[in-house]
Structure formats: C-alpha cells, structure tokens
Amino acid sequence: MIKKRNLIITAHPDDAEITMGGTIKKMTTLGHEVKNLIICLPSEPEIRIDEAKKSAKLLGMDVEFLEKNKTSIAEDHTLFYLITKLDRVIEEYQPDSIYTHFIKDSHQDHRIVAQAVLTCFRKHKCDLLSFEQINQNNLITSNQFIPNLYVDISEYFQEKIKSLEIHKSQMVGHMTHYLKDVEKLAEWRGHQSGNRYAESFLIIHKKDF
C-alpha cells in the first residue's frame, strides 16, 4: 500500500473531528500521514489549542495553527492573506489529498476557508474533497450537500466520539446537540452505503484512479 499525505484545512478546532474524525483515525491506523491546519481561534485560544492537540494525538494526526494565542475569525483576514498563507503550507507539505469545507456551507468562516483553498488549486494539483458539516439545524444549506464518496468508519466511530468529547469547551449550551447529531448523521450515511457508520465527502477533483 502506498502511504499518502493528507492535509485537512478547517476554519476551527473540532471541525475536522466533527466532519471526518472516523476517516482520520482510519487513515492513521493504516499508516497514512494526516495534518490538520486550523485557520481560526474564535474564542479562548489557549483552551482551544490544548483541546485540538489532545484530540489530534488521539486520532494520530498532526495539528498546526495559522496563528496562535489570539482570537480570530476568517473574516479578520483578507482572502489574499489566506491564499498566500495556504499556498506556502501546501507547497511545503505536498499533500496527495486536501480536505476542506463545502463551498456552500452556512457558516461564513467555513465558506471563506473553502474559497481560499479552492483558489490555491490554481497552483497545487492533488485530490480535493469537501467534507460534510453539521450545520446547526440549517436544513436549507445542509441539504445542498450531495456526497459522491462514503467512507466506512464503523470500526473507528467510538474514537471519533472520544475525539469530540475532548473539545469540552464546545460541548456546552446549544452546542450539546453535536454528539447526538454526529451519531445520527453517521448512521444515516452508513445506511446509505451499507455500513453501520459512515462519513461522506464530495470529490471536487481526483488526480488519478
């Protein structure tokens, strides 16, 4: 088996775990390399960084932050700034695959990051996929995501849940629905693909078969 390098570019800590935590654990268990580049720290930077590092260790991936020790949202940065920074990271890491947000996601930070990543594709040709995000009950937007790839994560689903539970700062108040919604979505995508649990993706570009 050829070992591959996978770069996950997310707006926030916990985005990677919510969307593809099972796939990440499956990749690293099989010996593939995975790095999560996190663009924003919208609150409590020290806590969010600590949670992200612990979760990444559980899943076996590396984690990197575009900026540290200060709060930020994607709208704080110009698109030119994000593209320039991402170009450098991609050039240095040389991934076989890039995973990022769906361009029509309901969250503005997610859309901005997705736009920057898609723009970087002008220079860097590799597999490019969007992952499926739980859109905080925004049915109009979430229903626009039509996957064309399903990954069986039945064997890794519990690790996905454990990685999410590490992000304790986010599992409070109106955010407590995430764990339940993650399981429901994984069951639904699993049912569609003939598995107990699955995560789904939209292939934007596939370099080869």
What letter represents residue 176's amino acid?
Answer: T
Whole-angstrom distance, CA of residue 118 vs CA of residue 124: 10
**Sequence-separated (6 or more) residues with CB below 8 Å from residue 66:** 37, 38, 39, 40, 85
Whole-angstrom distance, CA of residue 100 vs CA of residue 93: 16
What letter represents residue 69's amino acid?
Answer: N
Using CA of residue 64, residue 68, residue 74, residue 76, what is the dihedral sign? negative
Question: 19-75 pLDDT, tens per residue?
Answer: 999 999 999 999 999 999 999 988 888 899 999 999 999 999 999 999 876 777 777
Tell me if 162 sits within 8 A of 51, measured CB to CB.
Answer: no
Question: 89-118 pLDDT, tens per residue?
Answer: 999 999 999 999 999 988 889 999 999 999
pLDDT value, residue 142: 58
Q: Which residue has the higher pLDDT, 2 or 164?
A: 164
Q: At what angle do helices 108-120 and 79-93 cross, to 10 degrees?
A: 50
Average the pLDDT over 159-184 and give the result. 86
**Is the pLDDT at 128 greater than 70, yes or no?**
yes
pLDDT value, residue 41: 87
Distance of CA 81 to the CA centre of its chain: 21
Q: Which residues pair with 100 in a beta bridge?
A: 130
Average the pLDDT over 132-153 and give the result. 80
Tell me if 62 sits within 8 A of 27, measured CB to CB.
Answer: no
Confidence of residue 138 (pLDDT cuts 50, 70, 90): low
Tell me if 29 sits within 8 A of 23, measured CB to CB.
Answer: no
Maximum pairwise Cα distance, the chain: 44
**Is the pLDDT at 17 greater than 70, yes or no?**
yes
Tell me if 51 sits within 8 A of 14, measured CB to CB.
Answer: yes
What letter represents residue 104's amino acid?
Answer: K
**Is the pLDDT at 141 greater than 70, yes or no?**
no
Q: For the whole model, what pTM was predicted?
A: 0.93
Average pLDDT, the chain: 90
